[in-house]
Amino acid sequence: MLKISALAVLAVLPAFVQAQSAVYGQCGGIGWTGATTCVSGSTCTVLNAYYSQCLPGSAASSSTAAPSSTTASTSTAHSSTAASTSTAAAPSSTAIAGNPFEGYEIFLSPYYAAEVTAAAAAITDSTMASKALEVAQIPTFTWLDAVAKVPNLGTYLAEAQSLQASSGQKYLVQIVIYDLPDRDCAALASNGEFSIADNGLANYENYIDQIVDLIAQYPNVRVVAVIEPDSLANLVTNLSVPKCANAETTYKEAVTYAIQQLNTVGVYMYLDAGHAGWLGWPANLSPAAQLFDSLYTAAGSPSFVRGLATDVANYNALVASTPDPITAGNPNYDELLYIQALAPLLTSLPAHFIVDQGRSGKQDIRNAWGDWCNVLGAGFGTRPTTDTGSSLIDSIVWVKPGGECDGTSNTSSPRYDAHCGLPDATPNAPEAGTWFQAYFQTLIADANPAL
């Protein structure tokens, strides 16, 4: 993914002299015309049909860029990690009552740090480059958006555990569970690797099992997870979209499985709850609360489900100084208002929240509230902190790793979504999740607070 950044900027290079892809660079996938081999020390790994990436090491699962199913490799990985869990101490079975972020250092995602470091190296302006490097020190969440990325989590947990041992500080690893079958049912940009029609639920359960097996090996490292961005919100408002209607039962079963299993290894979980401009509309609040409550209760009220995550990968202010004109008609025009309106409607799900502010630094930049794709002029926002100003909010977080793309603007891509071609979307955007150097540089330039 990264290579798009570094190389695309240098990528006045004609295609026929394209070098090998850098670590984390794209190296294959439908529509990809760049390099298909990786620099030494990394291996081209198929993440999904649209995207192969140079991952560090010599991955066992895949060594070529040809898009293919990852199912085969997943079935073996699960059983191989299961054996080692027997040596691990039992994870705590009781969730703490308080804020799981309190008293913990957040482990910096090496994946994002590597993306940012390479991006900084591609910036010629030295002031901008040093600001870019500051971003590598700001914690983001690691998105497990493909089963091939799950083994990275084992490495991070091991690193967090040794940091914990050497520093005496307690560490917390932040992840996003994001691999539902028929993912992103109301849009195209983030369609994923599993399909409901093709064994999707079983593949998803296997993905969850692999994550659980890894986490079980590090019971002393705290893990916080955002569960499946957009999925339940789509079930609240987008059942008129046939793909969402078809996915409803599977999404519920899959999310239930995820929270039950992650609960067994003590992962503190926040279900994704869209944002103020989605579920925050007055007509959507009660249906949303009912869905969250009923799913949580039917799952057996897993004690490590701490609450809800809002504004993931979006741009809303936590507290807007004035309502953005695009929010007209919604009294809940910022995330705090949305959270304050939703919380009292929850009858069983705990009303604790985390709020993504990673790209919310600059306001009043959208033409419509529903515009979500690489919005032009966005800036990095408030840094992660537990000093949130509201007892409902555990932490301000950066869930979306700023600089990773929301979706391609290439109209011929199978994952082209029209939102990514709107006038307020940044042009020349690569595939979702891959590095978007120009966008990263705008986020730095428009950061508020400034970098």
**59 neighbors 154 (Cβ within 8 angstroms):** no
* Residue 80: other Cβ atoms inside 10 A: 11
List the one residue from 115, 230, 404, 417 that touches ligand BGC (CB under 6 A): 404
Q: In this structure, how many other beta carbons lie within 10 angstroms of the beta carbon of residue 12? A: 6
Closest to ligand BGC by CB, 335 vs 417, is 417
Under rule CB under 6 A, residue 408 binds ligand BGC: no
Q: Is 314 marked as binding a ligand?
A: yes
Q: What's the min distance (Å) between Cβ of 47 and ligand BGC?
A: 8
**What single DSSP character describes residue 435?**
B
Q: Please, what is the minimum distance in Å from the beta carbon of residue 45 to ligand BGC? A: 14
Peptide bond into 100 cis (omega under 30): no
Tokens matching residue 179: 């691999």
| Interatomic CA distance for residues 21 and 1, integer angstroms | 9
* Rounded CA separation 180/214 (Å): 19
- On whether 32 is known to bind a ligand per the annotation, the reply is no
Task: Candidates 116-124, 267-275, 327-335, 401-409: pick the segment binding ligand BGC (CB under 6 A).
Answer: 401-409
Judged by CB under 6 A, does residue 70 bind ligand BGC? Answer: no
Task: Using CB positions, name the residue nearest to ligand BGC.
Answer: 433
> Packing angle between helix 110-121 and helix 437-445, nearest 10 degrees?
90
Cα angle, residue 123 at apex, residues 117 and 128 outer, rounded to 5°: 90
Q: Where are the alpha helices (DSSP H) in 122-241?
A: 126-135, 150-167, 200-216, 231-237
| 243 has binding-site annotation | no
Binding-residue total with ligand BGC (CB under 6 A) = 9
Are 372 and 419 in contact by the 8 Å Cβ rule? The answer is yes
Task: Tell me how far apart the alpha carbons of residues 249 and 231 are, in angstroms, rounded to a whole number.
Answer: 12
Pick the piece of the chain touching ligand BGC (CB under 6 A) from 66-74, 397-405, 416-424, 439-447: 397-405
Catalytic residue among 334, 406, 417, 446: 406
Answer for which of 77, 180, 432, 444 binds ligand BGC (CB under 6 A) is: 432
3 state DSSP class of 42:
strand
Asked if 319 contacts 281 with a C-beta cutoff of 8 angstroms, the reply is no
Q: Of residues 184, 213, 311, 394, which has the active-site annotation?
A: 184
Question: Is 433 a binder of ligand BGC (CB under 6 A)?
Answer: yes
Least distance to ligand BGC, CB of residue 91, Å: 26
**Binding residue (CB under 6 A) for ligand BGC from 401, 416, 430, 443:** 401
Q: In the bound complex, what is the minimum distance in angstroms from residue 99's beta carbon to ligand BGC?
A: 25
User: How buried is residue 96: exposed, middle or buried, by Cβ count under 10 Å (0-12/13-18/19+)?
Assistant: middle
Binding of ligand BGC by 406 (CB under 6 A)? yes
Q: Judge whether 258 and 228 are in contact, CB under 8 Å.
A: yes
CB 2 within 8 A of CB 24: yes
Look-up of token digits 């966005």? 378
The verdict on 270 binding ligand BGC (CB under 6 A) reads: no
* Interaction between residue 400 and ligand BGC (CB under 6 A): yes
Binding to ligand BGC (CB under 6 A) within 188-227 occurs at: 190
Q: Is 184 a catalytic residue?
A: yes
Q: How far apart are CB 447 and ligand BGC at their closest, in Å?
A: 18
Which residues between 139 and 168 bind ligand BGC (CB under 6 A)? Answer: 143, 145
The one segment of 80-88, 197-205, 298-306, 400-408 that binds ligand BGC by CB under 6 A: 400-408
Residue 442 Cβ vs ligand BGC, minimum distance, rounded to whole Å: 16
Q: Quick one: which H or E segment has residue 441?
A: helix 437-445
Verify whether residue 230 is a known catalytic residue.
Answer: yes
Q: Which residues are annotated as a binding site?
A: 143, 145, 275, 278, 314, 372, 400, 404
Q: Which residues are annotated as a binding site for substrate?
A: 143, 145, 275, 278, 314, 372, 400, 404
Site for ligand BGC, rule CB under 6 A: 143, 145, 190, 400-401, 404, 406, 432-433
